[in-house]
Amino acid sequence: MSWSKLKQQLESFLCPALAGRVEYRATSYRYLPDKAGHCYITVDKKNIFNMADKTTLIRWYQTELEIKNDSEIELPISQEELETVRQETKGNVPEDRLHVIARNRKITGFAKDLVSAQSSLSKSNFTVVATKFLSSSIEECLESPDILLNILALVDRRVGKKRILNMSETIKLKHPIVQYFYELRRRTC
């Protein structure tokens, strides 16, 4: 599918409040056929998401340690997770320390997933993922570990206000760029 047709289809699915604000753009190199173009997403004419450029406004993590040390990341700890740690330690650990152990375990898993998603995103092709989005259900795209599929689904008009508001807890476990587009959509609902 040509870029102009793909762009037209993607923009036809934008929610009315974001139409004209969110744009899908691409660069290409006419005289360098072996050089691939770059696709990116702009919001209010600012380059917000460029898969090839790590200087965009959203933070890209390089290591698991960066994620662990980022104080802005909030991961909710459930009672089941605390109970699992309590059973594994056979009750020999103070209550406040249980929370620290459970949080560290959860953030380690989150960090590995996040770095893995970023590395697969940098290798992926925007047009391939966008075509997959057009042929997939919204539920699949929202639950997918793919960052770009999450973004395309969040700005989609088929995702209603009630669903957006109910996603607040699950969005905390997503990449900061997904959280950015979630907040953008939540404010425009």
Residue 63 has what pLDDT?
A: 72
Residue 125 has what pLDDT?
A: 74
106 Cβ neighbours under 8 A, 6+ residues apart = 75, 77, 81
**Closest CA relative to residue 171, chosen from 142, 136, 132, 141:** 142
Q: Which tokens in the block code for residue 86?
A: 């309590």
Contact 160, 30 (CB under 8 A): no
Residue 33 has what pLDDT?
A: 54
Q: What is the DSSP string of 90-154?
A: TT-S-HHHHHHHHHHHHHHHHHHHHHHHHHHHHHS-HHHHHHHHHHS-HHHHHH-S-HHHHHHHH
Residue 123 has what pLDDT?
A: 44
Residue 95 has what pLDDT?
A: 84
pTM: 0.69
Q: Chain centroid to CA 9: how far?
A: 21
Tell me the C-alpha distance between 149 and 141, whole Å.
5
Contact 172, 179 (CB under 8 A): yes
Weakly modelled stretches of the chain, pLDDT under 50:
123
Ranges of each domain in the chain: 3-62+116-188
Contact 131, 159 (CB under 8 A): no
Residue 31 has what pLDDT?
A: 60
Tell me the C-alpha distance between 125 and 110, whole Å.
24
